[in-house]
Chain A
Amino acid sequence: MSAMTVARVEVTRALRRSSSAGVWAVGLIPSAVGLVTALRGGSMLGTAAVLLVKLIAPLSAVALVASPVGEGYESRTVLYWFLRPVPRSRVVLGAFMGYASLVAVGLFLSGAVFALIHATAGHGAVSTLATIPLALAFEGAALTAMVLGLATLFPKWPVAASAGLLTLTEAVLPVMLGQAHLLSVSWHISHLMGLDLGTEDALLGTVPQVSAPVSVIAVLLFAALPVAAAVLNVEDRELQ
């Protein structure tokens, strides 16, 4: 109940910020790029899909989550929650639920538009109308968890910390040697969406494939760890 209250408040606040609409609008850029590509006879699952999965999704999470979460601790507005008879962990979980739904819905809609154009152009199977938006929503929730965790742990530099981590996991690691790409949320999401980004991205060597359940578990783990770290941190934190 209390977590749902926090989630509701965070969603309401975010929806009333004009910047949220801007972030959602930016989420449509890959669809526009894909539309142009499709009109020229190309496949949307190239540049446009990569743009959506590897750039827009992380950007959405950072833009919608990092600053408000960090600011809550820096300006001490979290006190209004923490001075109530509710465990702090529920406040963190509530915030995660709120922001995750916000980012996930935005990416779901972007993915739906993208999948619709893709299917209409005759390149995508009907099933992609469901898999692409759902995978993107899943990615949004996982990236939200990472950003929320980082912003809670480093509230003074929430954007820098989360952008730094996501650059590492989503841009640098996937092109490194060995199995490093397995630490990338977007790589797993691409995999779930049926995009073969691995062989294009690896600088050297071949990229081993994993099964879909493994990808789902990996993404869930990436989401759970930062939230758990944030919960442990706030339970023990003094608010000066």
Chain B
Amino acid sequence: MNAPTIELVSVSKWYGEVLGLRDVSIALGPGVTGLLGPNGAGKSTFLKCITGELRPSRGEVRLLGRRVPSLEMYRQLGCAPEIEVFFEELTAREFVVALGEMSGLSRKDAGARAEVVLHEVGMSHALDRPIATYSKGMRQRTKLAQALLHDPPVVLLDEPMTGLDPVGRAAMLEMIQKLGAQGRTVLVSSHILDEVESMTHAIVVLYQGQLLAQGDLYAIRAMIDRHPHRLVIECDKPRVLAQALSRELSVSSLRFQGDAVLEVETHGPDACYAAVPALALREGVKLRSLRSPDDNLGAVFKYLTEDPRKVRAEAQGGPR
């Protein structure tokens, strides 16, 4: 097995009394890895420990075998931090060229390289416009360009999809997958499961500063699917709908919240989603809303945290 590109050994980080990371040990290699966790899980702390912005309170971080931080490692690292502000008065070209010079390129080479990467991220049309006039999506792309400018083998992207429109998301996704296919180690943080799922199957899950799972996304999904899903249905006749549901489908439990809300627990959420509108129509029930509170990462992590050790062991079992 190749030596890991990014390695954290028993890393803990405290902010005074508050725990940022707790005893995280992990080794990552080439390809795209999704760093997943709800807000406040420790994703940013994790990334900052790798970039050297933060020093671990305990443990050690290594990048390509070098202890973090070191000046040499910054030649190998491209990073798009999660900050919205740039040098607003500069144009994207000026910004990227300056950072290229800081990475050791001559001004001429930095200029040529800036043109290439800005073109690659789809910023050719706005190279010489002040960054202050850019949309959020253009800022994300400019951030990616400065991270790729010096052709680094390791790329860290902190919430790169934030603020992108659907077209921008698709382009960013393609770009990230391309980077991974080129053999780079790409670590992408996100709190949106579907977002990560669309770019990679290799994930690292953090929750409350702990490494909850590392492995294949499908394995994690399978574990989640073993738990019953909740559906909350708002309608005018919840009891009528409940009767119909219990007759037609396999439901684990039915609960009423007041006179207009029915909460269903089922192991077959997809069948339930498909059946509810048809049943409501047949029984003359007016549906107001149908939602699943489980369709968010917080709920997913709640399931996973029920037995973190078991989850970790199963997730490392590989693809389904």
Contact = CB atoms under 8 A, between A and B. Distances in A.
A82 B77 CA distance: 12
B89 A16 contact: yes
Most chain A CB within a 10 A radius of its CB, from B53, B77, B102 = B102
Interface class of chain A by DSSP: loop
B87 interface: yes
A39 interface: no
Interface string B64-106: 0000000111110101010101111110001100110111100
A179 interface: no
Contacts of B81: 76, 79, 83
A240 B88 CA distance: 21
A212 interface: no
B141 interface: no
B89 A13 contact: yes
Most chain B CB within a 10 A radius of its CB, from A75, A77, A84 = A84
Given A81-B102, A84-B74, A86-B102, A12 B94 contact: yes
A238 B55 contact: yes
Nearest to B104: A85
A1 B101 contact: yes
B15 A83 contact: no
Contacts of B83: 75-77, 79
Nearest to B13: A238
Contacts of B74: 83-86
B114 to A, nearest CB: 13
Contact of A240 (B54, B79, B104): B54
A53 B102 CA distance: 37
A83 B94 CA distance: 17
Contacts of B55: 238
Interface string A66-100: 00000000011101111111110000000000000
A84 B89 contact: no
B102 A13 contact: no
Interface string A1-26: 11001101100110011000000000
Given A9-B90, A13-B90, A77-B87, A84 B54 contact: no
B146 interface: yes
Given A9-B87, A86-B71, A2 B79 contact: no
B48 interface: yes
Contacts of B71: 85-87
A204 interface: no
Interface string B9-28: 00000010000000000000
B101 A2 contact: yes
Contact of A17 (B15, B54, B86, B89): B89
Contact of A83 (B72, B79, B90): B79
Nearest to A8: B98
A238 B146 contact: no
Contact of A80 (B77, B87, B130): B87
B48 A239 contact: yes
A85 B75 contact: yes
Contacts of A1: 101
Contact of A75 (B51, B54, B85): B85
A238 B88 CA distance: 24
B120 to A, nearest CB: 19
Contacts of B103: 84-85
A12 B85 contact: no
Contacts of A16: 89, 130
A168 B258 CA distance: 67
A75 B15 CA distance: 19
Interface in B33-80: 48, 51, 53-55, 71-75, 77, 79
8 contacts: A2-B101, A9-B90, A13-B89, A77-B87, A79-B53, A85-B73, A85-B103, A238-B53
What 8 A-B pairs have minimum CB-CB distances, sorted nearest first? A84-B102, A16-B89, A85-B74, A75-B85, A13-B89, A239-B53, A5-B101, A85-B71
Given A5-B101, A6-B102, A83-B77, 19 more contacts: A2-B101, A9-B87, A12-B89, A16-B89, A16-B130, A77-B85, A80-B86, A80-B87, A80-B146, A81-B102, A84-B74, A84-B99, A85-B72, A85-B74, A86-B71, A86-B74, A238-B53, A239-B54, A240-B15
